[in-house]
Chains A and B, each alone.
Chain A
Amino acid sequence: MNGPVVTRAHLVEARNVAKSFGQTEALRGASVAVGQGEILAVMGPSGSGKSTLLHCLAGIFTPDRGEVWFDGGRLDALSEAERTKLRRTAFGFVFQFGQLVPELTAADNVALPLLLNRVRRRAAYKTADAWLDRLGIGDKGANRTGELSGGEAQRVAVARALALGPKVIFADEPTGSLDSLTGEKVMDMLTGLAREAGSTVVIVTHDARVAAHADRVVMVRDGLVSGDLGAIGEQVSVAKAAR
């Protein structure tokens, strides 16, 4: 990979990324950089381009213009096969509706990406069981995911994303289909376990309560990233904060 070396502190970066779908400009020169181990929330109204930005950062979409950098190299310049490999080995994904295979068990779903990465079957299922345990659904491993509640299924999706030990987890409206309490639990688990593992997380959401779990929040409007909305500042007491 050629070109200037990306700042090492930034693991993922979009530089002036533009992407259109037909006549619709989803991104019009969006730039954002995410640090190693950082949890970034990308907020914005429907149709603002925030999901398109996530798909570009994850190498799912190729930008029409601009550059996407990952770990010091140009992601957008890779071939489709190379990007697919990267998505399978270095990235984890959590989507609004989990995108699990409903006919397979929870353990199968978590083990599947490991098996695709040629992890031996016994080791893959051991890892899957361990992650399901950490997410509080160790007793659901043998259940088909189609039989699980929305919250349980989303925990399986989080387990699947984390099991590979990804460098980056991309989450698109990860609690969009869950009630408030279940959504909070899933976010606590996703961000807590990612922090423990040192994984970088990019969360796209329209929900301020979900975004508040992040270290930093940016806003996407009309295909552009506006400045930081919030970065964790000084500690405050609950009494002051809840005033």
Chain B
Amino acid sequence: MTLLGLLERAPSHGYDLKRDYDAYFGRGRQLPFGQVYSTLGRLARDGMVAGGDAEPGEGPDRKTYSITDAGRAEVDAWLADPVEPEPHLQTILFAKVTLALMLGKPAADYLDRQRSSHIRRMQELTRLRRDGALVDVLLADHALFHLEADLRWIDLTSARLTELAAVVNSEGAPKQ
């Protein structure tokens, strides 16, 4: 979905997509070329992207891929849908926020929805721990502390959206 979101900025070659993905979202783990092209093939099969004719020249693939209307709708739906609240989801949230800012979409609204989703899960867990056995209380506490950490990240990111948007949109890809 992140690759599809990157294509919404402008049509792109597979190589450029991989380069941008690695720069923004890779964090030291590069996306294999094979995965990029298999993903693009699957997205093309599902009507989310359209692949142009291959251009002459060096390199593994000179085909330009463009996002379709169906692909745009898919990206919009993905961005707007809160992630299932669970520990360790920062990577997905980070990708959503960064992409939303790149695409000029309402990142603050997405973060608000995520905050609501987290709070609801924390209420459920708090209710469970009220009457639960000690083992359940400890398990619920573990989840509560992780969700709380996520929420702090959400709050901090919400407060920094303007600053982040400037970085994402003006200064090019961060150094790897």
Contact = CB atoms under 8 A, between A and B. Distances in A.
A208 interface: yes
Interface stretch (A30-38, A120-128, A129-137, A226-234): A226-234
Given A208-B118, A238-B136, A238-B140, A214 B112 contact: no
Contact of A212 (B112, B125, B159): B125
Contact of B119 (A45, A211, A235): A211
A229 B139 contact: no
| Size category of the binding interface on chain B | 20 to 34
A241 to B, nearest CB: 5
- Chain A interface mostly: mixed
A214 B120 CA distance: 10
Contacts of A217: 119, 123
Q: Which 6 A-B pairs have the closest CB atoms?
A: A230-B119, A212-B122, A242-B143, A230-B120, A212-B126, A229-B119
Contacts of B123: 212-215, 217, 230-233
B146 to A, nearest CB: 9
Contacts of A243: 86, 143
A163 to B, nearest CB: 23
B125 A241 contact: yes
Interface residues of A, number: 26
A238 B116 contact: no
B115 interface: yes
A212 B144 contact: yes
B155 A45 contact: yes
Interface in B110-147: 112, 115-116, 118-128, 130, 132, 136, 139-140, 142-144, 147
A242 B121 CA distance: 9
Interface string B139-163: 1101110011001000100010000
Given A232-B127, A241-B124, A208 B143 contact: no
A119 to B, nearest CB: 32
A229 B116 contact: yes
Contacts of B139: 238-239, 242
Contacts of A188: 130
A242 B142 contact: yes
Given A230-B116, A230-B119, A236-B124, 15 more contacts: A188-B130, A208-B122, A209-B122, A209-B144, A209-B148, A212-B123, A213-B123, A213-B126, A214-B123, A230-B122, A236-B121, A239-B139, A241-B140, A242-B142, A243-B86
A102 interface: no
A226 B124 CA distance: 21
A229 B112 CA distance: 8
A232 B126 CA distance: 10
A236 B120 CA distance: 11
A242 B140 contact: yes
A228 B136 CA distance: 28
B119 A241 contact: no
